Amino acid sequence: MARTPQPTDAELRLLKVLWERGGSTARAVLEALPARRKVGYTTVLKILQVMEEKGLVSVDRGARSHVYSPRAGRGPTMRRLVADFVQRTFDGATDEMLVHLVDGRALDDAALNELEARVAALRGREEDR
């Protein structure tokens, strides 16, 4: 089975809108983009058409305006993007990436508690093996 291509930055912006809103027309996607990232209607339409060719979105042509929907969920797409980033940037060393992330930003108590819970869950899974 062919691997789904990674979305470009522009494609990822449109995917985020589709994940949040569900199936949408090109016009609705355009209107949902943040004001600082406004582009033209034809640009959004062209990007969506390219995304369809790449297999990132599906299109319902039943209505007068085509409705675009993401083919993959946010979670699987983000995991692929992060895995690719870790491989390219840190030669696959997830621990090195995590050290850079934690060292580079202040974490509040809620974020630290979430990290501790995830580490504990990972340790629990390892003990079950």
Place 129 in a pLDDT band, splitting at 50, 70 and 90: low
Averaged pLDDT for residues 55-61: 95
What are the φ and ψ backbone dihedral angles of 21, each rounded to 5 degrees?
-100, -20
Same domain, 64 and 103: no
Query: 69 and 34 in one domain?
Result: yes
Percent of the chain at pLDDT > 70 equals: 98
Q: What is the pLDDT of residue 84?
A: 92
11 plus 57 within the same structural domain: yes
Is the domain of 5 the same as that of 54?
Answer: yes
Tell me the whole-structure pTM to 2 decimals: 0.79
The torsion angle over the Cα atoms of residues 100, 101, 106 and 109, rounded to 10 degrees, is -130
Mean pLDDT calculated for residue range 98-121: 85
Specify the pLDDT at position 98. 85
| Same-domain status, 73 and 122 | no
Tell me how long the chain is.
129
pLDDT, residue 17, reads 96
pLDDT at residue 25 in the model: 97
**Residue 88: CATH number of its domain:** 1.10.10.10
Question: Are residue 64 and residue 98 in the same domain, yes or no?
Answer: no
Q: Are residues 74 and 86 in the same domain?
A: yes
Q: Dig out the tokens for 62 from the structure.
A: 């039943």
- Residues 78, 102, single domain; the answer is no
Classify burial at 86, counting beta carbons within 10 Å of its beta carbon; exposed 0-12, middle 13-18, buried 19 or more: middle
Whole domain around residue 102: which residue ranges? Answer: 93-129
How many domains are there within the chain?
Answer: 2
Assess whether pLDDT exceeds 70 at residue 2: no
| pLDDT at position 8 | 95
CA distances to 17, 63, 119, 128 from 59, in Å: 15, 10, 40, 44
Q: Are residues 111 and 55 in the same domain?
A: no
